[in-house]
Amino acid sequence: MPERSTASSHELWRIALPILAERIGPATYGFLRDIQPISCDDDTMVLGVPNQFAKAWLEERHSGLIGATLGEILQHQGPIRVEMRVSAQPPIPDPTPTLAPPPAPAPELVATAKTAPTGDFYAIPLNAKYTFDNFVVADCNRFAHAAAIQVAKSPGKSYNPLFIHSKVGLGKTHLMQAIGHMVKQQHANARVVYISAEEFVNQLITSIRDNRNDEFRRRYRTVDVWLVDDIQFIASIEGPVSEEAFFHTFNTLCQTNKQVVIASDCPPRHLQLMNERLRSRLDMGIVADLRYPDYETRIAILEKKAQSEGTSIGRDNLELIAKSIESNIRALEGALLNVCAYASLNAVELTPALVEEIIAPYRAHSEEKRVALRDIVDYVSSVLACSKENMLGQKRSKDIVWPRQVAMYLGRELTANSLAEIGRYFGDRDHTTVMHAYEKVSRLIATDEATLWLINDMKSALRGS
Ligand code: ADP
Ligand code: MG
């Protein structure tokens, strides 16, 4: 087995450290921080610890978890062996001066953490919390969720690539990793690789520097599901090299029916890519967005989160948080956890004024580009060949009802209008009619590929206009 160089075992350890800090918990972080990686081959990692006590403590309690985590990063079938040695070496300067102390950064941050040069191929373990079970499905994400489920059920088969976009903190990374979890559950041997675009570029640059570009390309041929997060990073940097490398990998995988899932902070057509073919290729797949959750959804997310954290702060307080924070689910969760922490640490009664004060830093206002109902009706009438008069009128023949239902669905998805307002606009109909239309189209999207594509393309066209 080839032995990895010391630099490379440092690299491996540096990627592992924040993940271990999260998994092991803050109490042991001090011990972890003092560990010096000594060497690593494919089976065993040798770690230097400062004294006998640390050795005994870590061996007894944590070597299993450390080995398992290293195994995940190295993409082994199982854990690797961990050997602790009391090392008299003077401490080597911490290779991660910017590493945050616990609580550890979220995995997507770990993925983008600056990595020292190495030619080895590391994967970022998926966050165990980012599963479909923990994802609250609502109108703001129903389409993306349905597409993600399809992809996870039959990777590489139909929706390739899947492109998920949204503003920050709305669930892209969560949904993407949920696909990874589900694929791994169903196919234990599938190679799922989650990587941020930034980390991809880091690895690319290193491989060019070390003259190992061919190896870099070869690595990706064995990937079954490639999850690339925050692709806008590739568009934001100068020079065509990383774009080309990405395009090459992307094409290789798509052509061999491997699944590619991409997340971005904007739709493909707004990415500042120099490669026009890449942009149009991304635009041709399923493009799903995640929008701001409405009030009920925010409550549902807060309830789920409070439940999974085992905390409770009362319905009134949940409502107050849900009302105050509209545009970022991460901020919503942060506010909730802060309120819980405050309540338990200070043993105080939570008054509305106090809650307002604690959550004030998390507030931000949403502004989303909205489409007008008029534009939707114009557009649907031209694409589905149904006159506007008919769509807004009272006739109920089949060739009119379907376009009308599609337009109502898009009205609910793309505008800020309430069900009642949409009903009124479409010939003074009741809100339950709109609801029925919405549910019908949603159901079809989840079961019928043609409908999924139809709605996908219509949404892109209406948003882009
Ligand atoms: P993004 O990648 O779009 O910036 P993330 O996927 O990191 O957003 O999500 C931010 C946080 O919000 C995560 O903790 C995630 O679990 C949570 N979250 C987002 N959407 C949902 C949802 N629909 N249900 C439950 N939690 C969610
Ligand atoms: Mg993300």
Per-residue pLDDT of 390-419, as tens digits, reads: 999 999 999 999 999 999 999 998 887 888
**Matching residue, tokens 């609250």:** 136
Token readout for 212 is 């190992």
Q: Report how far residue 8's alpha carbon sits from residue 74's, in angstroms, rounded to the nearest whole number.
A: 12
Q: How are beta strands 225-229 and 259-264 bridged, if at all?
A: parallel
5, pLDDT greater than 60? no
Dihedral of CA atoms 286, 290, 294, 296 in degrees, nearest 10, equals 80
Whose Cα sits closest to atom 19 in ligand 1? 171
Neighbour-count burial of 214, counting CB atoms closer than 10 A to its CB (0-12 exposed, 13-18 middle, 19+ buried): exposed
H or E stretch covering 262 = strand 259-264
Mutate to test the pocket of ligand 1, among 112, 330, 333 (most ligand atoms within 8 A of CB): 330
Query: Given this model, what pLDDT does residue 234 score?
Result: 87
Mutate to test the pocket of ligand 1, among 298, 329, 333, 336 (most ligand atoms within 8 A of CB): 329
3-class SS at 289?
strand
Lowest-confidence segment of 140-154, 182-196, 323-337, 354-368 by average pLDDT = 354-368
Distance (angstroms) between ligand 2 centre and the Cα of 39 equals 33
Output phi, psi for 69, to 5 deg: -65, -45
Lowest-confidence segment of 34-43, 95-104, 388-397 by average pLDDT = 95-104
3-class SS at 205?
helix
Structure confidence at residue 309 as a pLDDT band (50, 70, 90): confident
Distance (angstroms) between ligand 2 centre and the Cα of 223 equals 21
Rg (alpha carbons) of the chain, rounded to whole number: 25
246, pLDDT greater than 80? yes
Query: Given this model, what pLDDT does residue 57 score?
Result: 75
Q: Report how far residue 89's alpha carbon sits from residue 86's, in angstroms, rounded to the nearest whole number.
A: 9
Whose Cα sits closest to atom 25 in ligand 1? 135
Token readout for 301 is 């997310």
120: CB partners within 8 A, 6+ apart: 4, 8, 11, 12
For residues 177-184, give the mean pLDDT. 97
CA 290, 293, 295 angle in degrees (round to 5)? 170
336, pLDDT greater than 90? yes
CA 295, 424, 292 angle in degrees (round to 5)? 25
Q: Report how far residue 352's alpha carbon sits from residue 241's, in angstroms, rounded to the nearest whole number.
A: 54
Q: How are beta strands 162-165 and 286-289 bridged, if at all?
A: parallel
Distance (angstroms) between ligand 2 centre and the Cα of 175 equals 9
Residues with CB under 6 A from ligand 1: 130, 134-136, 141, 166, 168-174, 301, 329-330, 333
343, pLDDT greater than 60? yes
The ligand with the least distance to the CA atom of 334 is: 1
Looking from the CA of residue 174, the nearest atom of ligand 1 is 6
100, pLDDT greater than 80? no
DSSP 361: G
Query: Given this model, what pLDDT does residue 186 score?
Result: 94
Q: How are beta strands 36-40 and 44-49 bridged, if at all?
A: antiparallel
Q: Report how far residue 348's alpha carbon sits from residue 126's, in angstroms, rounded to the nearest whole number.
A: 37
Q: Report how far residue 78's alpha carbon sits from residue 144's, in angstroms, rounded to the nearest whole number.
A: 32
Q: Which of 50-64, 115-129, 231-245, 308-322 has the highest mean pLDDT?
A: 308-322
Structure confidence at residue 303 as a pLDDT band (50, 70, 90): very high
DSSP 285: S
101, pLDDT greater than 80? no
Q: Report how far residue 216's alpha carbon sits from residue 79's, in angstroms, rounded to the nearest whole number.
A: 24
The ligand with the least distance to the CA atom of 167 is: 1
Lowest-confidence segment of 115-119, 164-168, 294-298, 385-389 by average pLDDT = 115-119
For residues 81-97, give the mean pLDDT. 62
Distance (angstroms) between ligand 1 centre and the Cα of 135 equals 8
Q: Is the peptide bond before 50 cis (omega within 30 degrees of 0)?
A: no
Note the pLDDT tens digit of each residue in 430-450: 999 999 999 999 999 888 888
pTM of structure: 0.65
359, pLDDT greater than 70? yes
